[in-house]
Amino acid sequence: MGDVVVVGAGFAGLTAARELTRLGHDVVVIEGRDRVGGRSYTGDLAGVPVDLGATFVGPTQDAVLQLAGELDCKRVKTYGQGRNLIRWRGRVRRYRSTVPRLSVIELLDVSRIQWRFERICRKVSVSRPWSSPGAAYLDDISLDRWLKSVHAGASARDLMAIMSRVTWGAEPDEVSLLHAVRYVKAAGGLGRMLDVEGGAQQDRLVAGTQQIALRMADQLGDRVRLGAPARQITTGPDGTLTVATDTESFPADAVVVAIPPAHRAGIDFDPPLPAGYHELARHWPQGRLSKAYAAYETPFWRRNGCSGEALCDEGPVFITFDVSPNDSGPGILLGFTDARTFDPLPAERRREVALAGFAALFGDAARKPIDYLDHCWGTEEFAPGGPTAAVPPGSWTQFGPFLSAPVNGIHWAGTETAEVWTGFLDGAVRSGRRAAADVDQELARRG
C-alpha cells in the first residue's frame, strides 16, 4: 500500500480518493475551494435546491447513477409534459421532440448535417482520436468552418451554435471538429446527448448534484482539506513526490491530479513535466457558461400546455428547462445564458435581461419572480470556467496523447480525461475510478 495525494475535490477526485481508501491506501485530498463538488455546486432558490453547475443525469450514465444509488441520493425525472417553445427569427412557436418545427427545407438541411456529422463520428476513435483516419484534417478545422464547408443553412448553423454553447461554453469557431465528434461519440450520439427523455437531461437529483460530493466527502472525513490549493508538486531523486499547498506539504508515493487540464498550469512541477504536458495545459482551455434561475409561485407555463423547455436564437437566455419540484410550486425556470454578453453585466442588470429572456418565451408573468439566482462560472476567482474544456483546432493531434497518460507517479483524472460521457458527471466518476485503479496497480508493481 502507499500514500496518495489527490488534487481536487470534485467528482473525479473524491471518487478516486474513495476507491483508493477502499483499496487500503492512505489518502489526502487537497482542494483549493472552500467546498467540495468542483463544477457541481448547489444553491438555494425559494427554499428549493438548484444546481448552479452540473444538473442532469440520464440513461447509460451508469457510473454516476450507481454512485448516487450507493449514497442514497434520490432522483426525479425532468419535467417534459406539453409543448416545447422556440423563439426563432422573432417569432415564438411550439414543437415536440428534440428538433424544433422549421420549414421543410430547414428540417431537411438539419437532418443532412446531423447525418454527415454522425458519419464522421463513426470513424473517430474515442480513446485515440489523434490516430483516427483523417484526424489531421478534422482537428485542423473548427466546427463552424466544417458547417460552412458542407453548406449548412443558417438554421442548421444556429442550432449547432446553441449546442456548442450549452455543451462546451464556446462558439462553433472555437472548437475543433475532431473534438466535437469525439465528444458526441463519447456520449453515445447527438440524440443521446441532447434529448431529455432517454437522454442526458432525463433526470435530476432531488437535493442537487453536489449532495453526491458532500456525501463522498463525509465518508472520507478529515482526509479532505479545503482551502488548500496545490501550488507545487516536487519529485525527489528517489521518485518520492511531495505536494505543497500554501501552508502544508504532503509526501506521497503517487499523486492524482483531478482538475481541468487548463488548471494544471497553476501548479509548479519540479522538475518540469515533459513539454507535451506543459503545452497541453495551455491548449485545452475551459469554456464559459452561465446560468440564471427564476422562481414563481407556481409553474404557470404548465397551465398553458408548455413543458418549460425552450430554445432561443437570441441571447442572453438561449435554452431553458422546468426544474420545479411539483405542480403546486414553486415554479422554477432554469436558463442557460450566453457568458459573452451576460457575465460583464452588473448583478441587477443580469437579473433584468434574464427575466426579459424568460418573458420573451413564457409571457410577462415571467418578469415577476418571487426569487432569482444566477452564477457565472467564467468569473470565479479560483479555477474559473465551465462546463468543460472547449478544445480548439490543432490541440488533439498535438497534445491529446498527454491528456491522461501518467508521468513519474503523477496520474490525471477529471471528466475531460474520460472516454465515456466526457464532460459530464458520469465521465468524472469514471475517470476517478480509472485513475485509482492505475495508481493501485502501479504501487503494487513497485512492491
pLDDT higher than threshold 80 for residue 140: yes
Lowest pLDDT segment from 95-99, 119-123, 263-267 = 95-99
Encode pLDDT of 287-306 as tens digits.
999 999 999 999 999 999 99
In this structure, are residues 393 and 360 in contact, taking their beta carbons and an 8 Å threshold? no
The arithmetic mean of pLDDT across residues 160-168, rounded, is 96
Lowest pLDDT segment from 98-107, 153-162, 327-336, 404-413 = 98-107
Encode pLDDT of 404-422 as tens digits.
999 999 999 999 999 999 9
Q: Is 168 left (phi over 0), alpha (psi -120 to 50) or beta?
A: alpha
Encode pLDDT of 187-197 as tens digits.
999 999 999 99
| Per-residue confidence (pLDDT) for residue 444, from 0 to 100 | 95
Band of pLDDT at residue 2, cut at 50, 70 and 90: low
C-alpha span between 32 and 243 (Å, rounded): 13
Pairing state between β 203-205 and 290-296: unpaired
| Per-residue confidence (pLDDT) for residue 98, from 0 to 100 | 62
- Considering the chain, what is the average pLDDT of its residues? 96
Residues ≥6 apart with Cβ < 8 Å to 104: none
Encode pLDDT of 308-363 as tens digits.
999 998 889 999 999 999 999 899 999 999 999 999 999 999 999 999 999 999 99
C-alpha span between 412 and 57 (Å, rounded): 24
The arithmetic mean of pLDDT across residues 385-398, rounded, is 97
| Per-residue confidence (pLDDT) for residue 388, from 0 to 100 | 98
- CA Rg value for the chain: 22
Query: Count of CB atoms within 10 A of residue 74's CB?
Result: 11
Encode pLDDT of 353-369 as tens digits.
999 999 999 999 999 99
In this structure, are residues 175 and 142 in contact, taking their beta carbons and an 8 Å threshold? yes
